[in-house]
Amino acid sequence: MRTFTLVTLFTLLILISEIDAHSSSPFASSARRSQHLSLAHRHHKSGSKSSKSHSHHKSVSGPAFSKGAAVKPQTDDKATGKDAGQSKPEASTGSPSSSGSGSSCTFTDFVALEAGKKSCKSIILNNIQVPAGKTLDLTGLDPGVAVTFAGKTTFGYKEWKGPLIAADGQITITGAPGHVIDCQGGRWYDGKGSNGGKIKPKFFALHAMMNTVVSDLNILTTPVQAFSISDSSHLTLNNIRIDDRPGGDLGHNTDAFDVGTSTFITINNATVFNHDDCLAINSGTDIVFKGGYCNGGHGISIGSVGNRDVNTVARVNVTDCDVVNSMNGARIKTIAGATGKVDTVTFSNLRLSGITDAGIVVIQDYLNGGPTGKPTSGVPITNLRMIDITGTVDNKAMPIQIKCGAGACKDWQWDSSITGGTPADDKNCMNIPPSVKKC
């Protein structure tokens, strides 16, 4: 009997202390009091189990936090102080997420990109505004990094040589659906290109790119040359679209693709509206240009070849292309008095229309931007194939213009059917190989 009374008294004391603690809140309910009365009854029946039941009740009275647990901060503009005028940039915007040994990063700010890009395994460039006189620098990234242009990329105005964008190494570059890289090149256009007037930045330097792909880029109005490809190997460019028309008619030297000292370069399905060469190969080997559409420029060119550190162009295949509203269709030009060689070049299945100067041009008297009228033999053109070149030229244009140095044009295969225009005179049809028959 004394044991029962002591247990009962002990239980009631515990109950009273808990009721006092809860009753300090003005929102304590009668239901909670009923719960405590029920608990007292269970303590009375279970004896030693009462302390266990009491402990369980306390564990669910509120949330438990692990000691040292990290709490992720909010990342909206107000929380990060963007509206409050904080000037220190984040390493990236959008909180890079860990992915394997690297991170996936989205950048919307140029300064943040410069600070954080080296730690990223994949990079999304979303609506980047590049400051005037600065290069969007994608060089020095780890092999395998994937770069994606999203939204609208723009560039501040400054007279300088550029480039606006640079890349190297083994990275892939692509464009997200709906993106545009808008150079607003009309701000520099003055009709002089890189020959004078305003100093104009080149667009995209692809230097020492190896075993990689650049694809699906939409580009507007390059100030001068678009892609400058140098010292690269096994580089493929797919579905590149360049449109310089929004800048007006004063653009000049806006070559779409300039290739030098590179091997195994493939350019597929390019669409180009510009004011100069759609493709210009100054040196290099094993180059393919396939499925191109070239409008408004100087046509598809080999050269000018000569007077460079490397003066060889070999194993080039240009096929399945349309050249419209352009100065020339297919063109090969070598520097008068220079040395080098052009060998095993094929143009096949080219469709020409609206050509203003000449459908096919092969000249060895190019110097200082124009012909001298005196072709030389220092850069022989051998194993040239013109296969299935068709279309029309304007009334004052020449279907074919060939000016070869003595003995410098050998082993040609020729199959063209170009209508319209005016046949070349003797000054524009010199030392032609037997397969051509006539200009």
Active-site positions read 298
| Distance from C-alpha of 286 to C-alpha of 317, rounded to nearest angstrom | 8
In whole angstroms, what is the distance from residue 336 CA to residue 395 CA? 29
Are residues 136 and 164 in contact, defined by beta-carbon separation less than 8 angstroms?
A: yes
Name the strand (E) or helix (H) holding 182. Answer: strand 180-182
Token readout for 366 is 């190019």
Closest-CA residue to 223 (of 244, 249, 197, 195) = 244
Q: What are phi and psi of 411, to 5 degrees?
A: 55, 55
3-state secondary structure 270-323: CEEECCCEEEEECCEEEEEEECCEEECCCEEEEEEECCCCCCEEEEEEEEEEEE
Q: At a CB cut-off of 8 Å and minimum separation 6, what does 49 contact?
A: 42
Phi, psi for 421 (deg, rounded to 5): 75, -165
Please say whether the beta carbons of 403 and 365 come within 8 A.
Answer: yes
Instruction: In whole angstroms, give the CA distance from residue 206 to residue 169.
Output: 9
DSSP 148: E
| 192: number of Cβ within 10 Å | 15
Contact 303, 263 (CB under 8 A): no
Answer for the pair 127, 155: CB distance below 8 angstroms, yes or no: no
